[in-house]
Amino acid sequence: MEEIHGIVDSIIFKNEENGYVVAKIKEKGNLLTITGCIPYIIEGQSLKLSGEWVIHPQFGEQFKVELCEETLPNTAIGIERYLASGVISGIGPVTAKKIVEKFAEESLDILENNIERLKEIDGIGDKKIAIIHESYSKQKELQNIMMFFQNYGVTPNQCIKIYKRFKGESIRIVKENPYVLTEEISGIGFKTADKIARSLGIESTSTFRIQSGIKYIINQFCGLGNTCMPVPKLIKEGLNILGVSEDNIKENLLASAYEGKIKVEEIEDKQYVFTIPYYYCELGITKKIITLSLCNYNKLDMDIDKEIEEFQEKNNIEFAPSQKEAIKGALCNGVEIITGGPGTGKTTIINCITQIFEKHGFRVLMGAPTGRAAKRMSEATGKEAKTIHRLLEMGIGDEEEMLFSKTEETPLECDVIIVDEASMIDIVLMNNLLKATSLGTRLIIVGDVDQLPSVGPGNVLRDLIESKCVKVIRLKDIFRQSSQSMITVNAHKINNGEMPILNEKGKDFYFINCQGNNKILDTLIGLIDKRLPNYNKHWDKLKHIQILTPMRRGVLGVGNLNKKLQEVLNPPSKGKKEKEFRDNTFRVGDKVMQTKNNYSLKWNRTAGLGEQEGVGIFNGDMGYIEDIDEENNTVSIIFEEERRVVYESIYLDEIDLAYAITIHKSQGSEFPVVIIPVFMGPPLLMNRNLLYTGITRAKKLVVLVGSIKAVKFMIDNNKSFERYSLLKWRIEDVLNNVN
């Protein structure tokens, strides 16, 4: 990084919310433009800045600030100029002159340590001293926080996040527990926190450090989709990360459990460790799902066979026996799970169930784990469907944690709850949904258990099915209208371990043979940019065609694909606004994705029905950049063509380009056209489950690009990452004891 020293000449723009500034700084007689996060900047300030020179397409050469340090003046003239600049409320040019005349070079020390001495100056009383003290303290507070954390490689954006989270207590809290940063501030990992801790003199073998490290390791492991961690894995990882003895780790593991920070359980001679929230989520789901399954439900006063027959006649369809069984079970049972692959009629069954219930005066609520899935559910049924978060009336707590208004005390007011895309529901969301489901309410859970599990922790749908605690209907028959789709046919073939039927003329499933990753890359770009839009003029290359890839890294990973695709699909042009952020350049028109749950981001509705505003943008939500406001340093994104979110720069690390996304991130989505690169990769990743999930995201066309060897390898490989969850065991254990 380069370094410049100078005095702030003028502030062109400052965003009070996120600290972003555009300013002029005078260095050796030259007037330079600087940009960056400097929340405490004022005119007349002397600064030492580290960063790099960049060329802005409209405003020319600018110095992009990465690190900032105030260098206070040490001469009477310099101090007077500094104070006269208006940096401190209550001090103007006249008062600045009086202070310096009285205290000379000691003036700043007086403000810092002995402000009461200002009373020695005529015209300064208690009221004015209070104003000066508050202003000086607030500015110094943020400045000290920035200076303290920047010494450890914490970025200005992260400093602002720390300050917003902990306010004036930031340094004290972090000094007491540097590892709180790994839990509370996105983008700060254990190594950064450990660096701060070691500099503060915390020994590597300290109880505090090891227990914090244990919690960090468990959280990281659960971030991969697990609800618990086998103790041997924890110890192995602890030895690697913490660099202490096995005895140190075991002692602190037991101490943490004893103090209630974590939970350790021994199940069938194996030990597992939980964070407290996931432990209670598993207990909560176990208790409620069993209670609902054993509950007595009011018998329905209707001829169910007649109702089904009327629906068939009205819609000119004929249900298969398993589909009729699913409908009857949903009407008669308290809780039912309906699972099946594409084309097996899950949506039609939901339609039938809903219409019969509503015809007889039952109030039905429909929900799905994502906005995209809820929107599809509404379009397919003609009835309102909401995200589960909206059903439960999500709000934000004092510490920006997710809270729900609908709970056991204030349950959902309905007779029937139908939940679609249940494979995406993680353990936390399912626990909250079940809490808000009152006894006597029918619960119908619909999803494809053969798809990838939820992005969040747990393997809820599979655990519930395999525990055999509720009625499960597996749909295998393909509806006639879907049977001619090779997407549907091949999805079932792949799921059964068979090779798909490729390149049948006039069909919707194609394979392009390519050898070598660079050749595959060129073919992908050609398909999305030219060939497919030319093949069907109605297909918009940005909105209708989606590349799904198995991996994040490498030539065919999302990182490289997005850079290459952005160059072709949304290149820079005169007048098109863009913003650089870390490794990304965001432009107006870019397709983007939210990469983590953010419960505090506010949105307002630009189209569609429902609430006009709300909070919460979730992992996997996709949208397009509508505008980049350079003055306010914000990016406006429209999600699902109907919700606008204005991102401050501190939240841009939660956004990625989405011209290509991983198959994992595509869960719950549907796209008219899906292109999937198929190549040899890690066996645990390149498996049947992944390929199946990817092709079931397409509605009208699938194109596989790569080697037939890779396709066969994925279909033959039925191994996948094992998710650690004890939900199934808990349910079975209770049922065995009941029986």
For the annotated binding site for ATP, the residues are: 343-347
The span from the CA of 297 to the CA of 87, in Å, is 70
DSSP letters, 375-403, are: HHHHHHHSS--EEHHHHTTEEE-TTS-EE
The annotation places the binding site at 343-347
Of the candidates 621, 731, 599, the residue with the CA atom closest to the CA atom of residue 669: 621
What is the chain's length?
Answer: 739
Specify the amino acid at residue 30: N
Three-class DSSP category at 726: coil
Continuous segment of H or E residues that includes residue 167: none
Q: Which two tokens stand for residue 128?
A: 């004015």
The span from the CA of 295 to the CA of 735, in Å, is 14
For residue 410, give Cα distances in angstroms to 296, 430, 432, 436.
Answer: 21, 17, 12, 7
Contact 493, 499 (CB under 8 A): yes
Of the candidates 462, 459, 417, the residue with the CA atom closest to the CA atom of residue 436: 417
Give 737: exposed, middle or buried? Use CB within 10 Å, 0-12, 13-18, 19+: exposed
The span from the CA of 339 to the CA of 419, in Å, is 12
Tokens 């005895």 belong to residue: 247
Q: Identify any residues that bridge with 628 across adjacent strands, giving them in sequence order.
A: 635
The span from the CA of 502 to the CA of 490, in Å, is 9
3-state SS string for 511-564: EEECCCHHHHHHHHHHHHHHHHHHHCCCCCCCCCEEEEECCCCCCCCHHHHHHH
The span from the CA of 278 to the CA of 177, in Å, is 23
DSSP letters, 461-496, are: HHHHHHHT-SEEEEE-PPPHHHHT-HHHHHHHHHHT
The span from the CA of 336 to the CA of 353, in Å, is 12
Give 303: exposed, middle or buried? Use CB within 10 Å, 0-12, 13-18, 19+: exposed
CA 472 to chain centroid, in Å, comes to 31
